[in-house]
């Protein structure tokens, strides 16, 4: 239905017809037109309704009855493309601009046109949000930014209602930033941030060749706030047999959906074997290098 057809369906009253109506009926019309009506006299209500109807007539006069742009659903070549085709075009352009773009220093400029499209409508916002599903957020020692600031920036970016980061499925985080988010966020915030995560990668102190560790609270948070998690990668982070058993018990999926554990720390002692969950796979067994 075109805009003109919608406007044509609205009943138009003249002044005499409005005068015959009771005040309550006039108020109902004001509510229908989204006009203010509190404490207004009947004559003022009538004037407001007539003014609104004149505005409708002005809009209708600018519309064309047989407008090909509004009749895109008829499928003719000259008409506007259906939404599904527009979605496909945007996805293909995303694939060409982002996936094939190797210069990471200028990747931010590539995102701008997508972010601007997300402002067009709610449907486009949902589409663009579905494209921003893989996020990597590291702590770079060279920039000397406080961990608390980086964690706060990430949290604000995800929780902001106008942010497109609503469907993060693949998340790579510095273990320090992850720990700060866990400590400084409420359970509701953590649920909103991590609920859709399916593949999580935690990286130890960036730029330092040494193994880090995770706290018990961090492991519990992974289990509690990531109900859809399928794989967990711990890069240069040691994990004991007890911690491995805890995560495996609560996160490993049935039968064919298990994990492969790779022992990556060659300096681990026999009494405290250190493990790293490497990837999501069909079987579950420790593999030694």
* Number of domains, the chain: 3
* 85 in the same domain as 127: yes
- Asked whether the predicted pLDDT for residue 15 surpasses 80, the reply is yes
* 98 in the same domain as 24: no
Whether the CB-CB separation of 228 and 251 falls below 8 Å is answered with no
* 240 in the same domain as 113: no
* 161 in the same domain as 98: no
What percent of the chain is modeled with pLDDT above 70?
Answer: 61
* 276 in the same domain as 209: yes
As to burial, measured by CB atoms within 10 angstroms (0-12 exposed, 13-18 middle, 19+ buried), residue 242 is: exposed
Q: State the pLDDT at residue 278.
A: 34
Which of 12-21, 79-88, 137-146, 222-231 holds the top average pLDDT? 12-21
Determine if the pTM surpasses 0.85. no
**Among 89, 105, 131, where does a domain finish?**
131
| Higher per-residue pLDDT: 106 or 278 | 106
Q: In whole angstroms, what is the distance from residue 72 CA to residue 81 CA?
A: 6
As a whole number, the mean pLDDT across the chain is 70
* 219 in the same domain as 95: no
* 104 in the same domain as 37: no
- Asked whether the predicted pLDDT for residue 149 surpasses 80, the reply is yes
How many helices (DSSP H) and strands (DSSP E) are in the chain?
12, 9
* 137 in the same domain as 255: yes
Q: Average pLDDT of 32-59?
A: 82
134 strand-pairing partners: 170
| Higher per-residue pLDDT: 248 or 192 | 192
Q: Average pLDDT of 230-237?
A: 78
Q: Average pLDDT of 5-20?
A: 81
Q: State the pLDDT at residue 92.
A: 81
| 255-264 contacts, C-beta under 8 A, 24 or more apart | 256/282, 257/230, 257/282, 258/282, 258/283, 258/284, 259/231, 259/232, 259/284, 260/284, 260/285, 260/287, 261/285, 261/286, 261/287, 262/286, 262/287, 262/289, 263/287, 263/288, 263/289, 264/236, 264/289
Q: Find the domain containing 88 and state its range.
A: 81-131
Q: State the pLDDT at residue 255.
A: 35
Rg of the chain on CA atoms, in Å: 29
* 67 in the same domain as 89: no
Take residue 62 and report the two structure tokens written for it: 């600018």
- Asked whether the predicted pLDDT for residue 198 surpasses 80, the reply is yes
Q: Average pLDDT of 265-288?
A: 32
Q: Average pLDDT of 100-106?
A: 58
* 147 in the same domain as 224: yes
Which residues have a Cβ under 8 Å from the Cβ of 46 and sit 6 or more positions away?
15, 18, 19, 26
Q: What is the DSSP letter of 95?
A: I
* 160 in the same domain as 251: yes
| Higher per-residue pLDDT: 108 or 232 | 232
Q: Average pLDDT of 254-271?
A: 35
* 138 in the same domain as 118: no
| Higher per-residue pLDDT: 57 or 14 | 14
Q: Average pLDDT of 52-59?
A: 79
Whether the CB-CB separation of 179 and 150 falls below 8 Å is answered with no
């Amino acid at each position: 239905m075109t805009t003109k057809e919608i406007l044509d369906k609205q009943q138009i009253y003249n002044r005499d017809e409005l005068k015959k109506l009771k005040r309550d009926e006039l108020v109902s019309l004001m509510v229908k037109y989204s006009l203010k009506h509190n404490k207004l006299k009947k004559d003022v209500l009538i004037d407001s309704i007539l003014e609104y109807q004149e505005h409708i007539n002005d809009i209708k006069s600018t519309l064309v009855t047989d407008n090909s742009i509004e009749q895109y659903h008829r499928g003719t070549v000259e008409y506007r493309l259906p939404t599904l085709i527009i979605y496909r075009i945007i996805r293909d352009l995303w694939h060409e601009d982002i996936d094939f773009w190797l210069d990471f220093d200028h990747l931010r400029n590539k995102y701008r046109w997508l972010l601007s499209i997300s402002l067009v409508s709610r449907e486009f916002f949902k589409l663009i949000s579905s494209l921003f599903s893989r996020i990597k957020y590291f702590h770079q020692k060279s920039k000397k930014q406080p961990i608390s600031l980086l964690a706060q920036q990430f949290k604000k970016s995800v929780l902001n209602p106008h942010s497109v980061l609503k469907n993060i499925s693949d998340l790579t985080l510095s273990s320090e930033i992850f720990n700060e988010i866990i400590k400084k966020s409420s359970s509701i915030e953590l649920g909103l941030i991590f609920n859709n995560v399916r593949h999580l990668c935690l990286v130890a102190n960036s730029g330092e060749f040494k193994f880090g560790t995770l706290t018990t609270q961090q492991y519990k948070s992974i289990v509690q706030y990531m109900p859809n998690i399928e794989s967990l990668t711990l890069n240069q982070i040691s994990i004991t047999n007890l911690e491995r058993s805890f995560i495996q018990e609560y996160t490993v999926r049935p039968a064919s959906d298990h994990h492969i554990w790779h022992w990556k720390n060659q300096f681990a002692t026999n009494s405290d074997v250190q493990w790293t969950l490497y990837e999501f796979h069909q079987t579950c067994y420790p593999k030694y290098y």
